[in-house]
Amino acid sequence: MRPFDYEVATDAPSAVAVVVGRADAAFLGGGTNLIDHMKLGIADPALLVDVTRLPTGEITDRPDGGLRIGATVRNSDLAADRRVRERYPVLSQALLAGASGQIRNMATTAGNLHQRTRCVYFQDVTTPCNKREPGSGCSALGGYTRYHAILGASEHCIATHPSDMAVGLAVLDASVIVAGVDGERSVPFEDLHRLPGDRPDLDTTLAHGELVTAVDLPAPGRPVRSAYRKVRDRASYAFALVSVAVVLSVDDATVTDVRIALGGVAHKPWRAHRAEAVLRGAPATVVSYERAADAELEPAAPQDGNGFKVPMTRATLVATLRDLTTEDR
Amino acid sequence: MTDMLEPRAMGRDRVRHDARAKVTGAALYAGDHAVERPVHLHVLQASIGRGRVTSIDASEASALDGVLTVLTHENAPQLSNADDAELFILQSPAVAFRGQIIGAVLAETPEVARQAAGSVRVAYDVEAHDVDLRADRDDLYAPEEVNAGYATDTDDGDVDAAYDAAPRRVDQSYRTPLEVNNPMEPHATTATWSEDGLTLHDSTQGVHSVRATIAPLFGLDEDQVRVVAPHVGGGFGSKGTAHAHIALAAMAAKVSDGRPVKLAVTRQQMFSLVGHRTATIQRVRLAADEAGHLTAVAHEVVEHTSRIKEYAEQTTVPTRSIYATPNRRTSHRLAPLDVPVPSWMRAPGECPGNFGPEVAIDELAEVCGLDPIELRVRNETDVDAATGLPFSSRTLVECFDIGALRFGWSDRPTVPGSRVVDGWRVGLGVATSTYPVHTMPGSVAKVRSEGEGHYAVHIGAVDIGTGTWTALAQIAADALDVAVECIDLEIGDTSLPYATVAGGSSGIRSWGSAIVEAARRLRSEHGDHPPEGANGESEAADNPDTEQYAMRAFGAQFAEVQVHCDTGEIRVPRMLGVFAVGRIVNPRTARSQLVGGMTMGLSMALHEQAFLDRATGHIVNHDLAEYHIAAHADVADIEAIWVDEEDPHLNPMGTKGIGEIGIVGAAAAIANAAHAATGTRVRELPLTADRYLP
């Protein structure tokens, strides 16, 4: 770790101005990922702008029946919020499936969205990594790939996004409110994170200095069924091998609306549009679910060490849909 | 027959002597000792798998405020003894494995030392490294002997003929992965040179063994080196021998103008600097008659050693003693690789070497159509085939009987995959556990009367979290026939009488025997009311029974496993270990040892696997986020109990040692239970969800 300056932001516009003006500055939220990176030598910001005291720590009702989640709401508080548990249980479940109690007490909403891959090569400065050092190569190819992508990867990077919360948000039609030098803009959640392509060093579509201030959730609408299911290598405190978030409406044994996101399989929370397209209007049966899963996984391209993720994703998705529709609700 | 001590304090539950100090932070660990103006050290490690350092540019590092010296092979003090290549660091530019120590930064603070270490530029001549363990390598070789002095190979009877003729057979290959000890307290050393010599506050399992290793490295007599370790936060074998970081700290202290040097090894560095358990590839062949009596057993193992220092895990040793059979062959072959130096990890040999055979026994039970407990009972023996000697005690069948009743063995589903509860397939499994009673002679205890019925007891033993402080006081109390409160124990310092290492589950037995003999000497020379200052000092009494009997601890491991029908996720809701380990000195600390061993076995079964990357040559999942050990949520109901085993041949306390047996057999019991749950036989650890995907 190198010496760095530290200042506490008092309002978003000036925080943005400071970071935009310095390429070597970074926002600091709960610090559960960035501080690790500074210790490991992955990140060495010369200035940390602490945004945790901005007035973004509240969860507020929106006029449309939705919620605005402040960027610095702690993961524990978000998971425990009664409105979240009642209206968006899939988000609460996803949050509680991640990390540990101690980490959730520190981690913020925006920080969670910005956390970086746990690819072991990214985290080890003695190995080449295109995400950490563009052009140096990808050590994961042919290496330890148990936690790596099977969808949407590139020859430059096969890392996965580690967040559970983000997978839950991906099925809620969320929007991310971003403050920049030109004011505020709203980014559809699916457009926030990006696939690696030939720029795996970029995790999101945000520019340097743009600050996430909130996440907006629209009203949940008609009664829906939802679930977050995470499969991991130990019962807690492990990143997903595979996770599935589903929001589903069924009428007369037919799927009328569905949103599915997958975690642990791609460089971003993976919205399963192919599966959704198969399911929309299809009978709510296991046969449909299997067809949907197969359609989604058709382009899957696993590595030597994670071929199991294809059948595991299929099994987890099918079982999650099955469990949501077999019990009489 | 030994002169047995009457247990009064022994056998009673007693709170740890050091419990309060530990939970209040008052107990000092190796990195905690206050020294004046310490210099802080950060290790530089090779980032290639094999080759030579051609240049080290430390100009940027040296220019940082607070950096004192950057130590490299170009300016390091010369070491006096090259016998141990692991310790002979910074004496040449050669790199033998990735992560090897190639230098160190000395600085005023640990932060500056670490920062500077990150800016040292090293250039290498890179040679191709090889870290690929395969059974078909053409350079496998037979070591002269394997760890703890056992024979490399054994071959009794005619295994091939018996195997060919047998009606019931199993021939399978089993694999255990590379595992890393990961005690909670990372290794740390504080080194100080003075006119009198070298003082080390070290996190070690043996102060005298560190002294014996380090002294010749620096051309010192042993009495010029003092090693102190009052409290140690776990070792699991990784602190059983002196590793290179201790030599580095001592070297750095030699060039720091008399200032003490503090070195704390990071968790990541531990994966290449303080030992590991080799991966093993085990071929097991079992042959039996129709009734399940073993007619042949073959256990052939391929494992790795580092190229620069041989370590041969004694993986097949338990197979030589555990069951009766007229024909038996065991062998070890080593692949010399460019890997860090492997070493002891909790129950070396016995633990990985139990996995293959105990799963194979389960497979044989299936082939024979027998209850796996019944199959084991049919192959019981009173004689240790490895030595031809009768066991001093062997209470294995009773362990199985008690365990089967308590665990509900008779209610288990006997058809694999036949019981499903709430979407989880459920199965029960068992395995035999065993661990030898190692004899480690040489420990000396001193007992001194302090007047008014109080006694000082001095021995250079170490408490690595096991309860030594507590248990030795209980033994001393009984040896002197006084209350435990009358014992003033001192341990953890080479200024105390010589003690053997806390390893091989031998500590309490070796040290306690010496204490008993010293107490007896005091009593015989000075009577029941010795004057203040009267001494008794002694090694343990000779025990001729060690020549007459084979001595081993045994146990029965039971596990219940749930495997998710959809995802293959695996959980262990219940484990029970029933152990026959001689007398128990302190039920509280003993239970902690046994449950701890079983928990580590659970962790081995489900989680632990160091991934040695062929391309980079190092363990890439080198922290506790990526190298999984069991989390609390994985550890459910683990129960350890023991039978009352009175064995008069062992030692005055009647103890066998309990530090390691808890881990032995746990993984096999879980693997066997997972097979019972699913019908899927997984022969490679760890047992992860993907292996049980439907």
Each residue's pLDDT tens digit, A29-59:
999 999 999 999 999 999 999 999 999 999 9
pLDDT at position B553 = 98
Closest-CA distance of chain A to residue B587, Å: 30
What order do you get walking across the sheet with A47-50 strand by strand?
Answer: A5-8, A47-50, A25-28
Predicted confidence (pLDDT) at residue A329 exceeds the cutoff of 70: no
pLDDT in tens, B348-392: 999 999 999 999 999 999 999 999 999 999 999 999 999 999 999
> What's the half-sphere exposure (Cβ side, CA atoms, 13 Å) at B340?
29
Task: Please judge whether A121 and B630 are an interchain contact, meaning their C-beta atoms are less than 8 angstroms apart.
Answer: no
Candidates A87, A98, A117, A11; CA nearest to A55 is: A11
Question: Predicted confidence band at B502 (pLDDT cuts at 50, 70, 90)?
Answer: very high
B637–chain A Cβ distance below 8 A for any pair: no
For residues B283 and B289, what is the distance between their CA atoms, to the nearest angstrom?
Answer: 20
- CA torsion sign for B86, B88, B90, B93 is negative
- How confident is the model at residue A327, as a pLDDT? 62
Q: What tens digit of pLDDT does each residue of B557-589 get?
A: 999 999 999 999 999 999 999 999 999 999 999
Distance CA A28, CA A34 (A): 7
Query: Helices (DSSP H) in B369-467: which residue ranges?
Result: 372-378, 396-407
| Residues B455-487 pLDDT 10s | 999 999 999 999 999 999 999 999 999 999 999
- B93-103: per-residue pLDDT in tens? 999 999 999 99
Burial class from Cβ neighbours inside 10 Å (0-12, 13-18, 19+) for residue B28 reads: middle
When pLDDT is cut at 50, 70 and 90, the band that residue B1 belongs to is low
Q: How far apart are the first and last CA of chain B?
A: 56
CA distance B630 to chain A (A): 7
- Taking all residues of chain B, what is their mean pLDDT, rounded to a whole number? 97
- β-pairing verdict for B154-156 and B328-337: antiparallel
Dihedrals phi, psi of B390, to nearest 5 degrees? -70, 150
Q: In terms of CA atoms, which chain A residue is nearest residue B616?
A: A127
State the burial class of residue B555 (Cβ atoms within 10 Å of its Cβ: 0-12, 13-18, 19+): buried
Q: For B143-164, write each residue's pLDDT tens digit.
A: 999 999 999 999 999 999 999 9
Percent of chain A with pLDDT over 70: 99
A239: Cα separation from own chain's centroid: 12
Distance spanning both ends of chain A, measured CA to CA: 54
The count of other CB atoms within 10 Å of the CB of residue A157 is 28
Cβ-contact B460, B496 below 8 angstroms: yes
Question: What is the mean pLDDT of the segment spanning A257-263?
Answer: 97
- Residues of A within an 8 Å Cβ radius of B: 1-3, 41, 118, 120-121, 123-127, 139, 142-144, 146, 231-238, 241, 308, 311-312, 315-316, 318-319
The pLDDT of residue B105 is above 80: yes
Residue-level pLDDT at B241: 97
Other beta carbons within 10 Å of A60: 11
Q: Do A2 and B115 touch (CB under 8 A)?
A: yes
Is B40 an interface residue toward A (CB < 8 Å)? no
CA dist., res. A296 & res. A291, Å (int): 9
Catalytic residue among B569, B608, B660, B684: B660
Cα B14 from Cα B312, distance rounded (Å): 39
In total, the C-beta contacts within 8 angstroms joining chain A to chain B are: 86
Active site residue B646: no
Determine whether the interchain pair B689/A241 forms a contact, defined as Cβ–Cβ distance below 8 Å: yes
Residue B179, number of CB atoms within 10 A of its CB: 26
Does A235 contact B631 at a Cβ distance shorter than 8 Å? yes
Q: Return the structure tokens found at A107.
A: 């981690």
Residues of chain B with pLDDT > 90: what percent? 99
Give the pair of three-digit tokens for residue B1.
Answer: 């027959």
CA B125, CA B338: separation in Å to the nearest integer?
Answer: 15
Residue B342: phi and psi, rounded to 5, are -70, 160
Angle between helices A309-326 and A286-297 (to 10 degrees): 150
**Chain B residues closer than 8 Å to A143 by CB:** 613-616, 620
CA angle A114, A119, A125 (to 5 degrees): 95
Mean pLDDT value across residues A151-162: 98
